[in-house]
Amino acid sequence: MILFYVLIVSSKITNLLKKNIPEFAAYFTDAMWKYVYTSDADIIYENMRNYDGINIVTWDGSGLKFGNLFENAKSISDKLTTIYLVRDSSNPLILMKSGIRPDIVMSIFLDDNEIINIYKNLIQNIKLSEKKEKSEYEFESNMTDYKVDFDEIFFLESRQKKVWLCLERAEYELNKKMEDVMVDFPGNFKKCHRSYIINMNHIKKIDYDDNSILLENDMRIPMSRKYRNELRNL
């Protein structure tokens, strides 16, 4: 799982990132990504404190006051990358004098292609091999503890305000939200619909005309237009 945060960024940059980062993430990595766009630095900090995986944070010059917060975060996360967006020529000097050391300093006035290429190169160079992923998923369902291999899971479905873990011949009810469950799953699990996450290893056929995915157990899963292009590039 990779957490991608954006704090206090212009609408231009925000729209660029929302449009391009998910595409790069799906194309260049096998990891599950979570995206957080917020003006509340505490939300980002708390997420980093509770997660030991890869974190990427972007914040702009108007958020200089949050610099120390991210420096403190680096002391608890050795997989944190910070990207500082410069609005004024004096920003980098002020930043360095304050002792804040972002990994990347980038002008907010670069053209779109230059900005996107910086993020593209960053994502290409992420060393996902540093993150050891478990081979089994441990969970509780109806007051009973279970442990199953990720390979046995065909898909997850959001239904009746709960998440259902679906194997070939069984399903388990999880009293969680889909976004909370996704954090624990490896990169071969991809979202194909707002209510479904599928195990890519069990795909039999993707039907782009019918907007559906046929799994090896002959279960047909809906595929929304939002995710079809990401799946097509895999």
pLDDT tens figures, 70-80: 556 566 666 78
Helix then strand then coil, % of the chain, to nearest 5: 35, 35, 30
Rounded to whole angstroms, how far apart are CA atoms 218 and 99? Answer: 58
In the chain, where does the domain assigned CATH 2.40.50.1020 lie? 136-232
CATH of 2-130, one of 3.40.50.1100, 3.90.1150.10, 3.40.50.360, 3.40.50.2300: 3.40.50.2300
pLDDT recorded at residue 130: 41
Residue 66 confidence (pLDDT) above 60: no
On the 0-12 / 13-18 / 19+ scale of CB atoms within 10 A, 62 is middle
- Domain spanning 136-232: which superfamily? LytTr DNA-binding domain (2.40.50.1020)
User: What's the mean pLDDT in 31-56?
Assistant: 79
Helix H or strand E encompassing 58: strand 54-60
Every domain of the chain with CATH number 3.40.50.2300 lies at: 2-130
Q: Compute the mean pLDDT over every residue in the chain, rounded to the nearest whole number.
A: 81
Confirm if 20 and 12 have CB atoms less than 8 A apart.
Answer: no
Q: Could you tell me how far CA 181 lies from the centroid of its own chain?
A: 13
Determine which of 49-63, 111-125, 131-145 has the lowest per-residue pLDDT on average: 49-63
Q: What's the rounded Cα separation, in Å, for the pair 231 and 22? A: 11
pLDDT tens for 166-187 read 999 899 999 888 888 887 888 7
